Amino acid sequence: MKHIECIAIGNELLLGIVEEKNISWLCKRLTQAGGVVEQGVIVGDVPDDIEAAVRGAILRQAALVITCGGLGPTEDDQTMAILAEALNRPLEEHPEALAMVAERYRALYEAGEVPHPDLTPERRKMARLPRGAIPLRNTVGTAPGMLINIGDRTWVCALPGPPRENRPMVEQELIPRLGEIVPLHAYRERHYEAAVRDESVLAPLLQIVQRQHRDVYVKSRAAAFEAQTTFRLLLATRAPTAEEAEARLDAAEQSLRTILGEHGIALKTYSSHAPA
């Protein structure tokens, strides 16, 4: 199964000044789109650490390595230069990326948001991509992202760090291409509440269900004893088709209901989406 890895970049994340939110969101979004995320890494604005994280993901044979952050006009935003180095590609101004940057600043100037629309060195910097990259349009901020194939069916994608720029770029630019980059699976999940207070009572029962249904992920979520008297249970699976995924979950749910019922534990509610 060709997998995805996500790398979040920024000293502000490691200092705890900005909460890292991109990796969890990418995990959810890419899983639902049919991808398989196997690792997330958070590193600072340290070229060696960023390069090591990217090389590590490639060594683990990730089909898609996604970086988040470090695309802006400031000196510490060095992701494109570091990726060029790590991928052994020259960093060069990309005409299409430059046109995107120019277009964004023109629009911001016309809206009265920036004092001039000129392509200063700091603005031009954002159009420098590793050779061979496809620029990805940023409809919120000004820095384009990029997607590049580095051979052996491995792709690297650089996204902006701020979630309000990152998420639209994923939706508009990455998700539509995802099927060309990684094999897609039908992913389905179901959520339940079990009327039981003690996870250590639940554990051996879930273990039986898990062993009967190895292709389904069976998970109970710990909850505080004081606050509530139920546990949340999850069944999730990936399959070649949606029908197969649903059939697997039907079978696992049946086993779960049976075995919990035998122990007097009701499955109180369920949903195909996570409870709020």
Nearest approach, Cβ of 65 to its own copies (angstroms)?
14
**Which residues in the 80-139 window bind its own copies by CB under 8 A?**
108, 111, 113-115, 120, 122-123
183 phi/psi in degrees, rounded to 5: -65, 135
Q: Is residue 49 within the footprint of its own copies (CB under 8 A)?
A: yes
Query: What is the separation of C-alpha 107 from the centre of its chain, rounded to a whole number of angstroms?
Result: 30
Q: Is residue 55 within the footprint of its own copies (CB under 8 A)?
A: no
Give the C-alpha separation, 53 to 50, whole Å: 5
Nearest approach, Cβ of 270 to its own copies (angstroms)?
14
State which of residues 2, 27, 106, 184 lies at the interface with its own copies (CB under 8 A).
27
Segment interacting with its own copies, rule: CB under 8 A, options 80-88, 127-135, 199-207, 250-258: 199-207
Q: Sign of the C-alpha dihedral, residues 34, 35, 38, 40?
A: negative
Q: Is residue 260 within the footprint of its own copies (CB under 8 A)?
A: no
**Which residues in the 137-196 window bind its own copies by CB under 8 A?**
140-142, 160-162, 164-165, 189
Q: Is residue 38 within the footprint of its own copies (CB under 8 A)?
A: yes
Nearest approach, Cβ of 77 to its own copies (angstroms)?
9
Q: Which CB atom, from 69 or from 148, has the smaller least distance to its own copies? A: 69
Buried b (16+ CB within 10 A) or exposed e, 2-19: ebbbbbbbbebbbeeebe
Please answer whether residues 135 and 100 qualify as being in contact, where contact means their C-beta atoms are separated by less than 8 angstroms.
yes
User: Of the candidates 114, 80, 116, 74, which has an alpha carbon nearest to the alpha carbon of residue 97?
Assistant: 80
